[in-house]
Amino acid sequence: MSFIEVCENAARAGGRELLQWQGKFTAQEKGPKDLVTEADLASQRVIRDLILGAYPTHRFVGEEDDDTPTPSTAEGYEWIVDPLDGTCNYVHGLPAFAVSIALTLDSQVIAGVIYDPVAEECFAAELGQGATLNGLKIEVSRCQTLGEALVASSFPPQVERDSPEIQRFTDVLIRSQALRRWGSAALNLSYVACGRLDAYWATSVKKWDVAAGCLLVTEAGGIITRLDGSPFVLEDPKFVASASSPLHEELAQILQSH
């Protein structure tokens, strides 16, 4: 099987685990307003087994550490997995969560899949091959201005009243057509890629939240940079993703002011 086929098979298997666990788990506190469930671990285990079964010498990095050793490799391939992105939504029964799987080669993302098991939507991208939703090509929207844009943002688990995150949110809320806090970084990026959202920014996510999604956006014709316009860095994912250059510049200027 190809890399993208393994990505998709593993993501769908993880999604099935999440659906089977709904209503059966007991939530444990991972931190204030940040919950982890047995479903995370079950999803990650089945994903790990499928990926390392196909590529036993590749490195595997998952959000949930279950103490299973990861093989070292000289090949440069690394799988970056979030077995449940949108955990708080999942715990509360909101249908806005997903499985995110990306493959990097020498730190560059070359394949990625985000799977929404409730909607049965599978977003996929390969470097240089475009992006798809359930096998059909997708593209970003044609939105050019913030005043016409539907934008999403992410907050950390704890937010101070006068924090830069709140100030950015308020400024964009006033200037955009509408602003959403969806609760899933992976789905936010998927929705930018397919044109449902026009832009998204985040300063408190981890690489497993966004590795697959960032490839989706760029392969769908979108733009991703750090807030200051410099190149996106996966190991420090503070970024803004937009559908067009004019929109990107306008939004980034506001975000930089804080």
Task: Quote the crossing angle between the two packed helices 185-194 and 207-219, to the nearest 10°.
Answer: 0
How much is the pTM? 0.93
CA distance 219 to 121: 17
DSSP letter, residue 148: G
* Identity at 257, one-letter amino acid code: S
Let me know if domain 146-256 sits in CATH 3.40.190.80: yes
Neighbours of 25 (CB within 10 A): 18
Distances (CA, A) of 146 to 11, 231, 254, 257: 33, 21, 10, 16
Of 3.90.79.10, 3.20.190.10, 3.40.50.620, 3.30.540.10, the CATH number of 3-137 is 3.30.540.10
146: phi then psi, degrees, rounded to nearest 5: -65, -35
pLDDT band per the 50, 70, 90 thresholds, residue 33:
very low
Q: Is the pLDDT of residue 84 over 80?
A: yes
Q: In the block, which residue shows the tokens 């949930």? A: 64
Domain positions in the chain:
3-137, 146-256
pLDDT at 64 (0 to 100): 78
What does the pLDDT read at residue 217? Answer: 98
Tell me if 200 sits within 8 A of 240, measured CB to CB. yes
